[in-house]
Chains A and B, each alone.
Chain A
């Protein structure tokens, strides 16, 4: 088992499994900062996965697919904005509803377009390309994992950096934080909280869209129902444990990705029932939540 864990492919796969979770964590972070919880990240990723897979197939271009995936993510978040900001429904209930909505609409679209199929394997996506840095990718162990990856991996790194800069060094960042921490203060200086939250949700939607696109256009070559399977929620959990810090949230997401892959990859390597291995990521999330909360509580005294 140790050989397996220390192998180059293990690290490659861990990162591959972590990417969608990190995107989800980033999406969750930006919406939470603005003071609105977007638990429909899960559903938005799934709709984005459909949009990316189908549009890249029919257009023959991964760029078009990616654009549509992001648009789909944004649209799903705009539905949340419509429900929570304009209709003033509970953002939580709306999020649950929109997740249901997403699972329905995904199947409706796929079935509608592909004559009753629940996955799009007959209409394979055009994949987002791999990027390979010559020389650097030859560095042993980490070289391949870091310097020879899917383009979305580098986009993910850029997104993390973007978040750090956005939150700490821009006017929009100050507005987003104000909208989250003290919305009345924002209104009192004439900055509309609603507007700020909508912008935050747009960014959130783009990130969820990228996460969804990764699943159906880089990780797997097509959309299949249930392919998100809780990764959006794991991202939300990772963000909760990162306590609002993008890098910390990213690291927790990476950890979740590692366990996620361990469960899947372990099925062939380890002689252990795969059903129980599948509980690992969830069990780990649960245990991490407990440990983290206990530590927080102790720190507070």
Chain B
């Protein structure tokens, strides 16, 4: 084997003392697909950011083809032939594909852009690596899977030898994932070396040649993908045997707590929600599954009163169409939003101020907040949900997992009858995921109706009691026997390849 890259004893300590990497090592062979595996917060992203020059290591050395290099910026990394596809795409929606591909390395003729040359080369790259992208299309109009292709093209246009992909499959369906893998293999056969950051065991086995496993900032092992089982991998990643399943008893659905009838949400081009009807019962976890942008989010947003729609939504028997969020919340709706940073919290406020935002109005005297009482309650909630912090701690100081716990604490403490949980465990560490799942299941058992929107297949299959699959704004399948459904089958529904007959 021919080693092209070696990272030795990398330690990364942030200014605030957080240790992201400790003595981590990593090596790459030419022409391999290499996975960096580990739970959230294991330090895999940081290690790769160091390799790409986006972060600087506190200690340690990087050798490229045997020579020690200092990668002080992404620009240097690019010059050294290293490219990175971020999880959050770095695409300018307003610019066409070809300009995004050549962003920063625009071709010029004189002082003007050489648009023709860039279009031509983008087109050629697309053909070579079998990527169906229109060079002229504005990036903002492309679906997620194609936007990702543009990111890869961007890296290729820079003649990268080593390509790092950060969680590339997080936003893809199984079928799209397969397509991506096919393209990655073409790239490997073309002589590129590929690193993918992931925590999905199956994908590592399926795609990769070797796997570097990370835990708590360190490398805990390098294995050949062919030599290990998934169980062994997960043990390496977590340290001891993991719970891949959520502990829960069969559901006992009661009466309907929320009902959507013939809801339509217009969008540019096709409808975002096309005549959708469904209901959720007390004591069940109903999952709205689908590839991002197929209407499941909009369905949830209709129920929380956040977007306008035609049709009817009833919460606990009351029509809430056109009513305010306040009204719906007063009926007993709680909402864990998709994005805790932009919607779920006030990043400039304290934990206490974040905990009282949904019901402060009913704890006042003559308009003045009953602060003593509310403060005691906040302290209690922080304790109950195991949040590390005091009531006056600024929420911005908390980790992602703790922040999400604050959101969950606030929402679940309202004794809700209906919970809309939109990606409740996205970007949260394993401990917090288990905790949040446990809370949701226990509320279900107390007779709460729960609507779950999730892009995480294993969460969908392990937590839900019933699944509605959305495709292009419609419900294409209703799965009641969740335990006997495979990710593959779910993926076929999500892509619209299979479809159950209506009325089932």
Contact = CB atoms under 8 A, between A and B. Distances in A.
Q: Say if the two chains contact directly (CB < 8 Å).
A: yes
Nearest to A168: B113
Contact of B92 (A165, A170, A171, A178): A178
B111 A185 contact: no
A185 B112 contact: no
B95 A189 contact: no
Contact of A170 (B74, B93, B112): B112
Contacts of B78: 189-190
Interface string B42-83: 000000000000100000000000000000011100100000
B266 A177 contact: no
B90 A184 contact: yes
B112 to A, nearest CB: 5
Nearest to B105: A189
A296 interface: no
Contacts of A182: 90-93
A2 interface: no
A40 to B, nearest CB: 26
Contacts of B248: none
Interface in A156-208: 165, 169-171, 173-174, 177-178, 181-182, 184-191
Interface in B97-131: 99, 103-106, 108, 111-113, 115
A184 B99 CA distance: 16
Given A170-B112, A190-B75, A177 B92 contact: yes
A174 B106 contact: yes
Contact of B94 (A173, A181, A189): A181
A169 B75 CA distance: 24
B225 to A, nearest CB: 30
Contact of B74 (A165, A169, A189, A301): A189
Contacts of A184: 88, 90
Contacts of A187: 74
Contacts of A171: 106, 108, 113
Contact of B90 (A165, A170, A188): A188
Contacts of B111: 170
Contact of B103 (A165, A189, A301): A189
B181 interface: no
B103 A178 contact: yes
B86 interface: yes
Contact of A188 (B86, B94, B105, B108): B86
Contact of A189 (B90, B93, B113): B90
Interface residues of B, number: 25
Nearest to B106: A171
Given A169-B112, A170-B113, A185 B74 contact: no
Interface in B251-280: 266
Contacts of B54: 188
Contacts of B105: 189
Interface core residue of A169, A173, A185, A301 (most chain B CB under 10 Å): A185
A156 B95 CA distance: 27
Contacts of B90: 182, 184-185, 188-189
Nearest to A191: B104
Interface residues of A, number: 19
A233 to B, nearest CB: 26
Contacts of A173: 113
A131 to B, nearest CB: 27
A190 B92 contact: no
B54, B86, B106 interface centre (most CB from chain A within 10 Å)? B106
Contact of A185 (B75, B91, B106, B266): B91
Interface string B143-167: 0000000000010000000000000
A173 B103 CA distance: 11
A188 B74 CA distance: 7
A174 B95 contact: yes
A190 B54 CA distance: 10
B497 to A, nearest CB: 31
A178 B74 contact: no
A118 to B, nearest CB: 44
B95 A177 contact: yes
Contacts of B115: 169
A191 B86 CA distance: 17
B73 A178 contact: no
Contacts of B75: 189-190
Contacts of A178: 92, 95, 103
B105 to A, nearest CB: 7
A59 B111 CA distance: 35
A165 B112 CA distance: 9
> Which of A165, A189, A191, A301 has the largest count of B CB atoms less than 10 A from its CB?
A189
Contacts of A174: 95, 99, 103, 106, 113
A190 B73 contact: yes
A301 B104 CA distance: 36
Nearest to B158: A189
Contacts of A188: 54, 74, 86, 90
B198 to A, nearest CB: 21
B104 A189 contact: yes
Nearest to B76: A190
B201 to A, nearest CB: 29
Contacts of A185: 90-92, 103
Nearest to A178: B92
A283 to B, nearest CB: 33
B24 to A, nearest CB: 23
Contact of B93 (A165, A181, A191): A181
Contacts of B99: 174
A169 B92 contact: no
A169 B113 contact: yes
A160 B88 CA distance: 36
Cβ-closest 9 pairs across A and B? A189-B104, A190-B75, A185-B90, A188-B90, A171-B106, A182-B92, A169-B112, A181-B92, A189-B103
29 contacts: A170-B111, A170-B112, A170-B113, A171-B106, A171-B113, A174-B95, A174-B103, A174-B113, A178-B92, A178-B103, A182-B90, A182-B91, A182-B92, A182-B93, A184-B88, A184-B90, A185-B91, A185-B92, A185-B103, A186-B104, A187-B74, A188-B74, A189-B74, A189-B75, A189-B104, A189-B105, A190-B78, A190-B104, A191-B103
Given A174-B106, A177-B95, 14 more contacts: A169-B112, A171-B106, A174-B95, A174-B99, A181-B95, A182-B93, A188-B54, A189-B75, A189-B78, A189-B90, A189-B103, A189-B154, A190-B74, A190-B75
Interface of A: 165, 169-171, 173-174, 177-178, 181-182, 184-191, 301
Interface of B: 54, 73-75, 78, 86, 88, 90-95, 99, 103-106, 108, 111-113, 115, 154, 266
